[in-house]
A and B are shown apart, each in its own frame.
Chain A
Amino acid sequence: MKPAAGSVAIVGGGLAGFVAYLTLLRGGVAAEEIAVFSPETDPAGAWRRRAAAIGQTRMRSESDGHCLPTSFPGLAVREARRRRSLRPLVASVRDRYHPSVADFLAHVEELRSRSAWSDRVVLTRIAAVSPVAEGFELDGHGPFRHVLLAAGHPGHAVPDELRDDPRTIHAYESHRYAESVCVVGAGMAAATEWLNALAAGSTVISVRRREPVRRPLNLPRPYLTKRGLAPFQRAAAGVRAALLRELLAPSYPPGREWDAPLDAAASTGRFRVEPAVNGADQIVCATGFLRGFRHDPLLARLVDEHGLETADRWLVLAPDSTVPALTDARRTLAVAGVAAQYAFPAADTLAGARYAAHAFLHRCRTR
């Protein structure tokens, strides 16, 4: 393989990397200057598989849950134009608009073909980032002055006690439902599993360590803007880590569409909450992803080799999502996606991807 070169590299070709790529293009960085390192060319590949596995049909995010660098025009505008109807816009101003997964994926596909993304993807998984005088080398590629690490989630989390149980499957793996299903977890994936298993005729047992938080988005909305972020980013590392633990607790949206089927099933004995896994035919672990930089080999190595600062399970980042010890006037090492939660608690959402991308573009343009 011919080593890739240019001034900007994105490590990770998922949605966070894709948003960063589109943002760089919008900011005037030439496509030829950007190299994307990813094991696959479909930016929505991993996300698509997970959504399909849990049978998700609607996005939790709202109109601006898309990959464009600006929040406007959102998917509500796109749907309103397509359907020649104001209903999506009205729903959007009421915070009731949630695009369909199909619409979102179609939009990603459209953007991908329009942006020559596939031409910029180098099909490889980067194992090491090495700082050099004028930037960073990536497994022999480069050097690149500005590098964004957007490697995505490091793997599925399964509780130790269930790992060897033959009935166990992770929610994000393709599956059907047995007659009785025990769903472990209390977040959006778990709630989706409850409803889908009930719809498939199963009896559902919900096992959770705590009651889920009910809120429309992953985080309280002020944390999506400087209003909530500024105090968060000013807090000391320990306080910030504690706050992140609290903010990232499992949650799913409020609303009748969630409650009514559960109430109906509970009244007929087909849904109940229990403290521990029992004799159900199938155990679905809706327990999300492995948490913390230690589970990501690239980040773990970077931290160990350069003694980077960490707080609890998080890599300490500057408010603009850069790694302070490896970023200076000449070069940028920034992080996007779930590993950037220390800078932006909702970093693993599309809004978070945009946040990191905007800051990264600023670095690329001004240095």
Chain B
Amino acid sequence: MSYTLRGRLETRLAALVLPLAAAALLALTLRTWWPVELAGVMAGVLLALDLVYDRAIPYQPGWVALPLGCLELGLVTAAVTALGLHVPLLAALGLFGAGWLAAQLLGHALLPLWRLSYAEDGGELGRAGPVLGLGVAVLFAAAGGVWRASLPPTVHLGARVYPGPLVVDRRERLVGTTGTVVLGGIVVRHSDVTISRVHVRGGQNGIDVEGVDGVVLKHVTVSGATLDGIHVRRAAIRIEDCSVEVSAPYAQGIDISFNADRGESVVRGCTVVGGLQGIVTHSSNVMLSHNWVERTRLQAIDVDEMSTGTVMDNTVRDANGVGINCGDRSMCMIEGNRVSGTRPDSAGGNRMRAGYGLLVEFWAEAEVGENDLADNPARVGSFLGSDVRYVRD
């Protein structure tokens, strides 16, 4: 078919109706936004591509739909990745595939049957075309309206000191500013809470998140906690660009534990100074990347106790005993890290604390890529039935 530009766009909109409806239905059923976000990305990418196709493909034989479909899938995937959307792969492929099939069925059979002049009009749908465009726009506008209306309320904390502990027990965006200080900690007891630009000082745990999901901490600063700077139990969390400094004898920087059944937690771009362990996980599924950890007394980064973790592009300095540890039947992927200045810890006579840049112990399994471990007394240690596999590009 030799489509006109309007014909391409209108045919595309007609083909998008089914995936959009499916996405809306999925979003309502699952009470999640990714189907609508995915549908939005699909619509945006595919309609933009139609502008390119119009110039590049004056006549489109039927078979070309196949390579174009692959190209479109690739670009939609790239856009989803670039936008950082969290979309389940199989469901996304299903939605895209259903949309592609619907487009073929519509373009080759249903639209020509419905509209006699479909072929000679170059895919244009007459008066139905603008109505369709309006319908799709209204659908997205409605979704956007619902999204906005369903955003958690935002609480702004001004630049002063707030006595704590502060308990957040509803969906909320807690937004501070330079000079916002909460004394005695923040306790999160509800899902879908975002805390940003707040300095937490003191408290047993600086920020305590337990039994909830969808919690995001951005640009938070924690100091002076007596146990954990950020303490996470049975909760999926995303921590970005935080700063944690602890100095109490039993304090740890960030402790994420027992969330293996709650989805992946992410710690990215944080600076952790001091503590027994800088970042530690137990029985959790984690992604630890681009963090800076220094001056810890036990391990700087510890993926432990049957955790599954990716430890990537982190910098560890001046740890005592061990830099990065993968322990106790955990499965780790360790790549792109730079560990230096690890000191041997001779206090207990433990050979595993001889200043290893990377230690894998107690039946843990580690896939180890390129890491810079040169500036340590010992580079890689493997103890007690552990398995280290080296992966090179």
Identify the A interface with B (CB < 8 A): 23, 26-27, 64, 69-73, 92-95, 221-222, 224-230, 351, 354-355, 358-359, 361
Q: Chain B, 121-139, contact with A by CB distance < 8 Å: what is the 0/1 string? A: 1111000000000000000
Among residues of A, the one whose C-beta sits closest to the C-beta of B65 is: A93
Q: Chain B, 105-128, contact with A by CB distance < 8 Å: what is the 0/1 string? A: 000110011001111111110000
Residues in A with CB closer than 8 Å to B7 are 225-227
Choose one: A95, A222, A359; the contact of B58 (CB below 8 Å): A222
> Contacts A93-B62, A93-B63, A94-B62; is A225 near B109 (CB within 8 Å)?
no
Choose one: B63, B116, B122; the contact of A225 (CB below 8 Å): B122
**A94 close to B119 (CB less than 8 A):** no
**A227 close to B122 (CB less than 8 A):** yes
Residues in A with CB closer than 8 Å to B2 are 221-222, 224-225, 227-228
CB distance from B326 to the nearest CB of A (A): 52
Among residues of A, the one whose C-beta sits closest to the C-beta of B118 is: A71
Q: Does B1 contact A (CB under 8 A)?
A: yes
**A72 close to B109 (CB less than 8 A):** yes
Cα distance A222–B2 when bound, in Å? 5
> Contacts A70-B112, A72-B112, A73-B109; is A225 near B121 (CB within 8 Å)?
yes
**B61 close to A224 (CB less than 8 A):** no
Among residues of B, the one whose C-beta sits closest to the C-beta of A221 is: B59
**B112 close to A71 (CB less than 8 A):** yes
Q: Chain B, 56-72, contact with A by CB distance < 8 Å: what is the 0/1 string? A: 00110111010000000
**Which 10 A-B pairs give the minimum distances between C-beta atoms?**
A93-B62, A225-B122, A222-B2, A226-B122, A72-B112, A227-B2, A221-B59, A225-B2, A358-B117, A71-B119
13 contacts between A and B (CB under 8 A): A71-B118, A72-B113, A93-B63, A95-B62, A224-B2, A225-B4, A226-B7, A226-B122, A227-B122, A228-B2, A229-B120, A230-B4, A354-B119
Among residues of B, the one whose C-beta sits closest to the C-beta of A362 is: B117
Residues in B with CB closer than 8 Å to A222 are 2, 58-59
Residues in A with CB closer than 8 Å to B4 are 225-227, 230
Number of A-B contacts (CB under 8 A): 72
Choose one: B1, B61, B109, B116; the contact of A94 (CB below 8 Å): B61
| Interface size class, chain B | 20 to 34
CB distance from A130 to the nearest CB of B (A): 31
Residues in A with CB closer than 8 Å to B1 are 225
Question: Which B201-239 residues sit within 8 Å CB-CB of chain A?
Answer: none
Instruction: Identify whether the interface residues of A are mostly helix, strand, loop, or mixed.
Output: helix
Choose one: B63, B65, B116, B121; the contact of A226 (CB below 8 Å): B121
Q: Does B3 contact A (CB under 8 A)?
A: yes
**B62 close to A70 (CB less than 8 A):** no
CB distance from B1 to the nearest CB of A (A): 7
> Contacts A95-B61, A222-B59, A226-B4; is A70 near B116 (CB within 8 Å)?
yes
Residues in B with CB closer than 8 Å to A23 are 116
CB distance from B65 to the nearest CB of A (A): 8
Residues in A with CB closer than 8 Å to B119 are 64, 71, 224-225, 351, 354
Cα distance A225–B2 when bound, in Å? 6
**B113 close to A351 (CB less than 8 A):** no
Residues in B with CB closer than 8 Å to A228 are 2
Cα distance A226–B7 when bound, in Å? 9
CB distance from B5 to the nearest CB of A (A): 9
**A358 close to B108 (CB less than 8 A):** no
CB distance from A88 to the nearest CB of B (A): 12
Among residues of B, the one whose C-beta sits closest to the C-beta of A23 is: B116
Cα distance A94–B121 when bound, in Å? 22
Cα distance A70–B58 when bound, in Å? 22
Cα distance A93–B68 when bound, in Å? 14
Cα distance A92–B118 when bound, in Å? 18
**A226 close to B120 (CB less than 8 A):** yes
> Contacts A93-B61, A222-B2, A227-B58; is A69 near B116 (CB within 8 Å)?
yes
> Contacts A227-B58, A230-B4; is A70 near B113 (CB within 8 Å)?
yes
Residues in B with CB closer than 8 Å to A95 are 61-62
Cα distance A27–B115 when bound, in Å? 11
Cα distance A221–B62 when bound, in Å? 13
Choose one: A26, A27, A94, A224; the contact of B120 (CB below 8 Å): A224
Cα distance A359–B121 when bound, in Å? 11
Residues in A with CB closer than 8 Å to B108 are 72
CB distance from A316 to the nearest CB of B (A): 20
Cα distance A359–B120 when bound, in Å? 11
**B120 close to A355 (CB less than 8 A):** yes
Cα distance A358–B124 when bound, in Å? 14
Among residues of B, the one whose C-beta sits closest to the C-beta of A344 is: B120
CB distance from B210 to the nearest CB of A (A): 57
CB distance from B213 to the nearest CB of A (A): 47
CB distance from B332 to the nearest CB of A (A): 49
CB distance from B155 to the nearest CB of A (A): 56
**B113 close to A26 (CB less than 8 A):** no
**B58 close to A92 (CB less than 8 A):** no
Beyond known contacts A64-B119, A224-B120, A229-B120: 16 more, CB 8 A cutoff: A23-B116, A71-B112, A73-B109, A94-B61, A221-B2, A221-B59, A222-B58, A222-B59, A224-B2, A225-B2, A225-B121, A225-B123, A227-B7, A227-B58, A230-B4, A351-B119
Question: Which B135-176 residues sit within 8 Å CB-CB of chain A?
Answer: none
Choose one: A64, A92, A361; the contact of B116 (CB below 8 Å): A361
Cα distance A230–B3 when bound, in Å? 12
Residues in A with CB closer than 8 Å to B63 are 93-94
CB distance from A102 to the nearest CB of B (A): 25
Central interface residue in B58, B61, B108, by most chain A CB within 10 Å: B108
CB distance from B360 to the nearest CB of A (A): 54
Cα distance A124–B391 when bound, in Å? 87
Central interface residue in A26, A69, A93, A354, by most chain B CB within 10 Å: A93
Cα distance A252–B63 when bound, in Å? 23
CB distance from A331 to the nearest CB of B (A): 22
Cα distance A94–B60 when bound, in Å? 10
Cα distance A361–B3 when bound, in Å? 23
Residues in A with CB closer than 8 Å to B109 are 72-73
**A92 close to B62 (CB less than 8 A):** yes
Residues in B with CB closer than 8 Å to A229 are 120
Residues in A with CB closer than 8 Å to B124 are 226
